[in-house]
Structure 1
Amino acid sequence: MAEFQPQYVSHLVSKNTKVFTVVVIAVAVINSATLGYDSSVMNGLQILPSYTEYFHLNTATNGLNNAASWMGAILATPFLQILPDTFGRKRAILFSALICFVGIALQSAAQNIGMFIVSRIIVGLGSQLSSAAAPALLGELLPAVTRGRILGFFFSCFYVGSLVSAIINYGSQNIQSTWSWRLPSILQVMPSLLALCLLPFIPESPRWLVSKGQYEHAKEVLIITQGGGNPESEIALATFAEIESALAAEKATSRHNPWREIVSTPANMKRLVILCTFGVMINSFGNFVVSFYLDKILTQAGITDVKTKTQINVILSCWSFVVACIGSYMLDFIGRRKQALGSVAGMIVSLYCVGGMIKTFGESTNKSGIYGTIAFIFLFQGFYAFSITPLTSLYPTEISQYKLRTTGIAIFRLLDSGFGLMASFSLSYAMADLGWKFYLINASYNIVFLVIIYFTWVETKGIPLEEIALKFEGTAAFADSSVITGKVMDETTPGETKQAKSDAVPI
């Protein structure tokens, strides 16, 4: 058989499925690290006296600094559906990187607090675009067997950026000038630059291509990514038929634009409830405090030495990354819903313990008590990283069908950013006024989140994207579509299961 020569897909895209999987993982790592570095850089800067003294920060400006990136994220939400659906997932990632470059340049050169805040707004806008486009691209390129662990791994690599940021801040703390905070700001450019370098090595989403009528291009992508370059691959051809059939069924049943469609049926309303409540939860579990106010927590726990704080920041990032990677892998074994329920229960217990430990040992010199407080902070962050971190990029991508996917992600990110913005302003005051009681209050309303997950979440473990819709709409909505299990099997090799057809690239 002659070697397959693609006409539409770049020759830089590997036909070897194992190599392609490695590239996809690299894309996940880099794009998520961009988000992690951009979000966590403030945690490290606020520990540095050169930063706080240069801008003369107080409680109000400290909260505003943290809130700036969330303002940018909120400004980006109208474009989270428009750019990826109109110009493609890859071009949206390109736009996000270019916007980040502008914001990083301004942040690194900031001469006053106003300039710094504007730069953080621009960086937040660029990062938010990437947080919608990249998961959509990866989710639509990956088969069901690897989608959970790789797409879950996407946001787990948030901690790669967080760790790099923590290490750079730790190394720059001894610089006796404003370069101690300007250098970490400049180095924010590296993840975005690497993301651009990887774009030529991955194709566009086959689902986006089919939606735009580019059927041969989409088929070619599947031949390369799932068929190993074999144009007669039954796996690739069956997947193409399933995508084409599912999108045709969506088009026939979805007559409105996606923003109206998401409230037009009971099934879509259920999706909306999950997206909205999960978006509220992301920055409300208590993780926001650890991510942005670690300095204040450690001070409350009795730790005041700058070097010790930066060391704990580095170790916490390492711990969170390892746990998140394990959690990403376990999603395809435990399941999305069960893993989330277990982790939220663990976070509730941990936060109660943190509050109790700070009340008892926060103002004492008891080293055992102080270390115990730190241990519960690590335990809380571990529970969050084990499930909520990987589910942040995975679950909103999975539960929405193609037409609603970027719209659903946009709504989820709007709520995520909105409550992040609110937390940025309010938590610094709440922690100052309530002290140890703050953690008990946070743990108490996490119980409400646990109940919501229990009654609303749908399990999506191991199910192809086109079939997840059946969990919401039921088989009647796709009665004439090959999405229904069995019809694709009839169109392919007799005796081969549908799951084997869909699960193309093991890892």
Structure 2
Amino acid sequence: MTGFQRQYVSKLVPSNPVVLKTLLIAVAVVNSATLGYDASVMNGLSILPSYTGYFQLNDATTGLNNAAVWIGTILGIPLVQPIPDRYGRKNSILVATIITFFGIVLQAAAQNIAMFVVGRIIIGFGTCLSNVSAPPLLAELLPPRSRSYVLGIFFSCFYVGGLLSAIINYGSQNILSTWAWRLPSLLQFIPSIIAVALLPFIPESPRWLIANGHEEHAKEVLAVLDGGKSDDALVNAAVEMQDIKSTIAKEAAAYPRSPWKELLSTPANTKRVILLVLFGAMVEIVGNFIVSYYLTRILSQAGITDTHRQTQINVIIQCWSFAVAVAGSFLLDIIGRRLQTLIGTVGMTVTLYMLGAFIKVYGDSTDVSKNYGILAVIFLFQGFYAFSITPMTSLYPTEICQYKLRAAGAAVFKAVDAGLGLVMSFTMSFAMSDLGWKFYFINASWNVVVTALVFFCFVETKGLQLEEIAIKFGDSFITEGYNSSNSTTEGIGKLNKGQLTEHEVL
């Protein structure tokens, strides 16, 4: 059999499935690390006296500096759907990286709070676009078994960026100038540069190519993804392409208007929006925000006030979170999305109650063992969050939306996420100062409500093709004419034959 000659897919894209999957994982790592570094850099900077002293920060200006990135994210929401849908997932990642780079330079060179805040707003805009573009690209390139753990790893590697930020802050604390905070700010560009360098080695989304009339290009991508090197690979890819093309055509016929107008057009789409809003809120309100942005304040309340010790703890907690999040990513297809999320919300609820109680009783203690007892609870809380919410953050919003609504759905998710992030950035500093240990009890109490909502509302999606997931939301039109004999559509075939169990349907 003669190998087919590539006409559309770059020869830099490897034919070996293992190598290609490794590159896709690398894309997930570096894009997520960019987000993680950006979020955690403020936590690290807040520990440095050179940063707080230079800007003469108080509760209000600390909240503003932390909130700026969320302002940028909100400003970017109107563009995060049209850019990846019109220009492609890869080009969108490139644009996001360029925008982020300009924001990084401005932040590092800041001479006053206004300049720093503007830089952070630009970074928020860029990272928002990247976070909406990269997960759909990966989801649309990967089969179900790989999709769950790669997209789980995507946001789990948030902690890679956080760890890198923590290490750099730990090393820069001894610099006796403003470079103690300017250097960590400037080095945010490292993951961005790596992300751009990887783009030539991965293909464009075949679903985006098909939706935009580039069918021959899409067929080549599907052949390469299957590891095919012969002309037969193109034949097999053509069959798979027809399945995807048929599904996209049916979606277009069922939802003819713009994605934004279709979001609430049917009961199925309304259910999707409810889940996107619920999960977008969960990312910010279950308690992780205080660990990501106000770790210094928590440690001070726990009696751990030494700057050197705080930076050490910041490094260790990032390592711990990353290890737990990766483990959680690989368990998503074993435990299931819904149950794993429930385990996390219950665990976070319990540990927040414990944290509030321990800070009330032992917060003023000089006993090292009591201080570190509080620290152990912080680690337990962060472990539950990293195990459940972190791997789901990029996976679930991408999975539950069909192709036409995928970018718009991600934008809704980010809008809720960013909106609550903005509110909490401004209010958290005051709340923690005014309420003390009571704040953790309040947070734990609304986590009880969150747990109930997850139990009654979440839809299980493990092990299904993206097109198959639509059936669980009531998009039954998608099964008409679907090629159930194709190996990638096993779930559809089982459904048509009545072989899916009640558990699988729910």
Give the drift of 1:238: 4.0
Number of the residue aligned with 2:162: 162
- Secondary structure at the aligned position of 1:84 is classed as helix
Query: Is residue 107–residue 115 contact of structure 2 (8 Å, CA) maintained in 1?
Result: yes
Alignment TM-score, normalising by the size of structure 2:
0.95
Match of 2:385?
384
The offset of 1:498, in angstroms, is 2.6
What stretches of structure 2 of length at least 5 have no aligned partner? Answer: 495-506
1:412 aligned partner = 413
Q: Is the contact made by 1:172 and 1:183 (CA closer than 8 Å) also made in structure 2?
A: yes
The answer to whether the 8 Å contact 1:108/1:185 transfers is yes
- In structure 1, the partner of 2:372 is 371
How much has 1:226 moved relative to structure 2? Answer: 1.8
Report the alpha carbon displacement of residue 133 of structure 1 after superposing the two structures with TM.
0.1
Residue 311 of structure 1 is matched in structure 2 by 312
- Does the 8 Å CA contact 1:17/1:228 hold for their aligned counterparts? no
Is residue 327 of structure 1 aligned with residue 319 of structure 2? no
1:189 is the counterpart of 2:181: no
User: Is the CA contact (8 Å cut-off) linking 2:349 and 2:445 kept in structure 1?
Assistant: yes
SS at match of 2:5: coil
One-letter amino acid matched to 2:447? N
Q: Can you list the C-alpha shifts for 1:387-407, whole angstroms capped at 9, x where unaligned?
A: 100100000000000000000
1:95-494 equivalences in 2 (<5 Å): 95-233=95-233, 236-475=237-476, 477-482=477-482, 487-489=483-485
SS at match of 1:12: coil
CA distance in 1, matches of 2:15, 2:78: 36
CA distance in 1, matches of 2:209, 2:188: 32
**CA 1:235–1:372 in 2, change beyond 3 Å: closer, same or farther?**
farther
Instruction: Map 1:8-27 to 2 at 5 A.
Output: 8-27=8-27
Preserved CA contact (<8 Å) 1:227 1:236: no
Contact 1:74 1:414 in 2 (8 A): yes
Q: What TM-score do you get using the length of structure 1 for normalisation?
A: 0.95
Q: Distance in 1 between the 2:445 and 2:47 partners? A: 29
C-alpha contact 1:357 1:373 (8 A) present in aligned 2: yes
Question: How far off its partner does 1:230 sit?
Answer: 3.7
Q: CA deviation at 1:281?
A: 1.2
**SS of residue paired to 1:9:** coil
Give RMSD over aligned pairs.
Answer: 1.6
Q: Which amino acid aligns with 2:100?
A: C
Aligned partners of 1:149, 1:327: CA distance in 2, in Å?
A: 9
Amino acid at match of 2:462: K
Q: Is the 8 A contact 2:465 2:489 kept in 1?
A: no
**Aligned equivalent of 2:502:** none
User: How far apart in 2 are the matches of 1:229 and 1:443?
Assistant: 55
8 Å CA contact 1:249–1:481 kept in 2: the answer is no
Residue 498 (structure 1) aligns with: 490
Corresponding letter in the other structure for 1:488:
S
For the 8 Å contact 1:302–1:365, the answer to whether it is kept is yes
| Alpha-carbon distance, 1:331 to partner | 0.2
Count of matched residue pairs: 493
Question: What is the aligned partner in structure 2 of residue 505 from structure 1?
Answer: none
CA-CA distance at 1:166 after TM superposition: 0.2
| Counterparts in 2 of 1:228 and 1:500: CA distance versus 1, 3 Å | farther
In structure 1, what is the Cα distance between the partners aligned to 2:378 and 2:109? Answer: 35
2: CA distance, partners of 1:189 / 1:240: 37
State how far apart, in whole Å, the 2-side matches of 1:497 and 1:432 are: 54
Kept in 1, the 8 Å contact 2:338–2:454? The answer is yes
Deviations 1:162-197 (A, max 9, x none): 000000000000000001011111111111011000
CA distance in 2, matches of 1:370, 1:356: 13
Structure 2 Cα separation of the partners of residues 131 and 397 of structure 1: 11
Q: Contact (CA 8 Å) 1:224, 1:230: kept in 2 or not? A: no
CA distance in 1, matches of 2:156, 2:478: 34
Q: CA deviation at 1:244?
A: 1.0
Q: What is the CA-CA distance between 1:479 and the residue it aligns to?
A: 4.6
- Change in CA separation of 1:37 and 1:497 when aligned onto 2, cut-off 3 Å: closer
- Would you say the 8 A contact 1:97–1:196 is kept in 2? yes
Determine if contact 2:104/2:119 at 8 Å carries over to the other structure.
yes
The equivalent residue for 1:49 is 49
Is 2:2–2:231's contact at 8 Å kept on the other side of the alignment? no
Contact 1:206 1:218 in 2 (8 A): yes
1:81 corresponding residue in structure 2: 81
Q: How far 1:241 sits from its partner (Å)?
A: 2.4
Report the counterpart of residue 35 of structure 1 in structure 2: 35
Letter in 1 for 2:408: T
Distance 1:332 1:229 in 2: 30
Q: Percent identity?
A: 58
Question: Within 2, Cα distance between the matches of 1:201 and 1:319?
Answer: 31
Query: Which sits farther off after the overlay, 249-258 or 345-354?
Result: 249-258
1:79–1:373 CA distance, 2 compared to 1 (3 A): same
Shift of 1:242: 1.9
1:198-239 CA distance string (max 9 Å, x none): 000011100000000111111100100124334423763443
Q: Any idea what SS the aligned residue of 2:346 has?
A: helix
Q: In structure 2, give the amino acid aligned to 1:101.
A: F
CA distance in 2, matches of 1:238, 1:113: 57
Amino acid at match of 2:266: T
Q: Give the Cα separation in 1 of the matches to 2:231 and 2:135.
A: 27
Residues 73, 231 of structure 1: CA spacing in aligned structure 2 closer, same or farther, 3 A cutoff? farther
The answer to whether the Cα contact below 8 Å between 1:152 and 1:328 also exists between their aligned partners in 2 is yes
Q: Report the AA paired with residue 131 of structure 1.
A: N
Structure 1 residue 464: Cα displacement: 0.3
Give, in whole Å, the separation in 1 of the partners of 2:158 and 2:248: 32
Q: Name the residue aligned to 2:503.
A: none
- Structure 1 unaligned regions, length at least 5: 503-507
> 1:500–1:231: structure 2 CA closer, same or farther, 3 Å change rule?
farther
Moved more, 362-371 or 403-412: 362-371
CA distance in 1, matches of 2:117, 2:104: 11
Shift of 1:481: 3.0
Q: Which runs of 4+ in 1 moved over 6 A?
A: 499-502
Report if the CA contact (8 A) 1:401-1:466 is conserved. yes
CA distance in 2, matches of 1:444, 1:150: 33
Letter in 2 for 1:442: N
Residue 408 of structure 1: CA displacement? Answer: 0.3
Please report how far the alpha carbon of residue 367 of structure 1 lies from its aligned counterpart in structure 2 after TM superposition. Answer: 1.8
Render the CA deviation track for 1:26-61: whole Å, top value 9, x for unaligned: 000000000001111000001000010011101100
Contact 1:32 1:154 in 2 (8 A): yes
Is the 2:222–2:237 contact (alpha carbons within 8 Å) kept by the matching residues of 1? yes
